[in-house]
Structure 1
Amino acid sequence: MARVVCIHGIGQQHAGERTLHAAWYPALTDGMVRAGAPSVLGSEDVRCVFYGDLFRPPGRTLAVQDPPLDASDVTDGFETELLLALWTEAARTDDAVVPPDARTLARTPRGVQRALNALSRSRFFAGVAMRGVILDLRQVRAYLCDPAVQEAVQQRVAAAVSEDTRVVVGHSLGSVVAYEALCAHPEWQVSALLTLGSPLGVRNLVYDRLRVGGGAEPGDRPGNVDRWTNIADEGDVVALVKDLRPLFGSRVDSHLVHNGARAHDAARYLTTAEAGRTVADGCFLG
């Protein structure tokens, strides 16, 4: 059974368990090499939880072509608030992005369009089509706001974690999934949590929506975790709050790393010595 369980983030609806494993497993073990780990994990020791298919529409017979998604498809409320938060962070970290102001932050289609236009000029969203950004917003909203989606995702995590699992790795939205799962299952013997490019520290949109169960509250220690390492790239727009300690306590070991042009890339996070050390310590010392 897997000693390390990995949970992906948004935008993976066209992947699968084996596809993710093929990318994550070598990156994870490379990180352990960088950390000078005394041993490496076998392929069978790592399992990737996949839930992207929950966001993939079913196939259908081609009839009328679907219109392209545009600013009008970004719903008011959560999606608009998240989009504008991403715009603000992108402007903070990238001089090419015109920052929002009080007027442009109005919740109007024009404000949404301006946000999408601004993000299209950022390094972080380079090469990402508007449709992709809008679909990603929908996935985040679905998990955080739809109890049925959250339950379906959590069931897949629970099916992957066994009595042998000692480390859980969560990337992007997967860090939210991981935190909620560990809080909901204090009986698990997971000793280490590794979060990468995490939005867990975003108040109102993420942190205050966490569903931890069992009388726990957001900010509580997740399950039996003794070591929690959070890693963020300064240019990672998704990790709006780089340091989780103000909300989750001093027990979170926080690191800033440099992932180059692909600031949010899971494999680049996993190949860091900081990630490799957490996985090694969790597996062999936990």
Structure 2
Amino acid sequence: MTGARSLHRDLCPELLDGTAAAQQVAQQVARQAAPQGMADELPTADDVAFCFYGRLFRGEEEVLATTPYLDAGDICEGLDSELLAAWWHRAAVVDDRVVPPDEEVLGRAPRWAQRAVLALSRSRFFAPVGERVLIGDLKQVSAYLTDPSLRRSVQHAVSDAITADTRVVVGHSLGSVVVYEALCAHPEWPVHSLVTLGSPLGLRHLVFPRLAADPPGVWPGGVSAWTNITDRGDVVAVEEDLRPLFGPRLRQVRIDNGVRAHDLGRYLSAAATGAAILAGFGG
């Protein structure tokens, strides 16, 4: 079972690689030790902490399983199907191997869901992760947005991870939704930089109106800088540019993660991500 310590072990090196790459790029471009606003010293592993709340999404009978057994029959009408449709539409736009969905049958689960999962499983984006992970990720987003008790538990886990020394918060995928809501609810936190990666926050009719923020789209808490980083081929980040919804203060950056468009490790090791983290780390 993955936990905060194993996430730190596996992903902290990627994050540190990203900050090192950002510093190297800055030195080459600016011909100086560090540009204004960027930390003079790179963060170390001791400066990084990970928050893990994945076990909250599993029932007692599933908690020991590496990946819960899920198939297209577990996709329900409503938000499940609507999210799957959004991913299918996006995948068809960015990947010519994906057959576009037939508008006539959208929302007719479970046969439509089976067709959607089959189409997505052939895409460059989802083929490497497999059907169970695809459906599991979708069910987590849906559960978080529709289950108030689960949402509270996840938010408590994030609150417990924030300390008086926390200056930068990074949220990936559903985690970007979680940390956005947490920062909106806690403007007193010392966090002044938010970095979101592969975020579904821009889904106007599915995620955005369900945000626990008043109103949705409000600037997150006391942060002074927000950078949103996406890969064009990242199907989860259906609407990659968040500025129309969250305002021009947000800095929008596009990167290329290759075939692993949504992979957290690829996002963390990118120089653009490292630069955003370093800017907050040095603030």
Q: Which residue matches 1:18?
A: 5
Tell me, yes or no, if structure 1 residue 261 matches structure 2 residue 248. no
8 Å CA contact retained: 1:104, 1:114: no
Separation of aligned partners in 1, 2:137 and 2:170? 20
**Residue 249 of structure 2 is aligned to residue 248 of structure 1:** no
Q: Distance in 2 between matches of 1:69 and 1:153?
A: 22
> Could you tell me the TM-score, scaled by structure 2's length?
0.89
Q: Per-residue deviation at 1:279?
A: 0.9
Distance in structure 2 (CA, Å) of the matches to 1:264 and 1:133: 12
Task: Provide the rounded CA distance (Å) in 2 between the counterparts of 1:225 and 1:33.
Answer: 24
**Residue number in structure 1 paired with 2:208:** 207
Q: Displacement of 1:195 after TM fit? A: 0.2
Q: CA deviation at 1:69?
A: 4.1
SS at structure 2 position matched to 1:48 = coil
Q: Which moved more, 1:127-136 or 1:260-269?
A: 127-136
Letter in 2 for 1:89: R
Contact 1:17/1:49 (CA < 8 Å) preserved in 2?
yes
Determine which of 270, 273, 284 is the counterpart of 2:268. Answer: 270
Q: Write the distance in 2 (CA, Å) between the matches of 1:254 and 1:70.
A: 35
Number of the residue aligned with 2:49: 47
2:148 corresponds in structure 1 to 147
Q: Match of 1:56?
A: 58
Structure 1 residues 88, 187: closer, same or farther in 2, change over 3 A? same
Q: Name the structure 2 match of 1:77.
A: 78
Corresponding position of 2:19: 32
Cα distance between partner residues in 2 of 1:73 and 1:170 = 27
> What residue ranges of structure 1 are gaps of 5+ in the alignment?
1-13, 61-67
Can you list the C-alpha shifts for 1:125-153, whole angstroms capped at 9, x where unaligned?
Answer: 11333333222222111111101111001
- The answer to whether the 8 Å contact 1:234/1:257 transfers is yes
**Contact 1:98-1:118 at 8 Å conserved across structures:** yes
Q: Percent identity?
A: 55
Gaps of 5+ in 2: 24-38, 63-68
Q: 1:281 aligns with which of 265, 270, 279?
A: 279
Contact 1:78/1:205 (8 A) holds in 2: yes
**Which stretch has the larger CA shift, 120-129 or 103-112?**
103-112
Deviation (angstroms), 1:72:
2.7
Segment drifting more, 136-145 vs 37-46? 37-46
Higher share of residues assigned helix: 2
1:115, 1:274 → 2: CA distance? 33
Moved more, 167-176 or 262-271: 262-271
How far does residue 59 in structure 1 lie from its aligned partner after superposition?
Answer: 4.3
Q: Equivalents in 1 of 2:274, 2:134: separation in Å?
A: 30
RMSD: 1.6
Change (3 A) 1:211 1:97: same
**Counterpart-to-counterpart distance in 1, 2:281 and 2:79:** 38
Report the more deviating stretch, 140-149 or 174-183. 140-149
Deviations for 1:21-74, whole angstroms, at most 9, x for unmatched residues? 1122111111111111631212221110000111233348xxxxxxx6433321
**Letter in structure 1 aligned against 2:53:** Y
Amino acid at match of 1:223: G
Dislocated runs of 4+, deviation >4 Å: none
Look up the match of 1:167. 168
Residue 257 of structure 1: how far off its partner (Å): 0.4
Partner residue, 1:90:
91
1:183 aligns to 2:168 (yes or no): no
Q: 1:119-158 alignment to 2 at 5 Å?
A: 119-158=120-159
2:220 aligned with 1:233: no
One-letter identity of the residue aligned with 1:160: A
* 1:155-184 deviation digits (Å, cap 9, x = unpaired): 011111112111000000000001000000
Aligned equivalent of 1:8: none
Pick the aligned partner of 1:221 from 219, 231, 236: 219
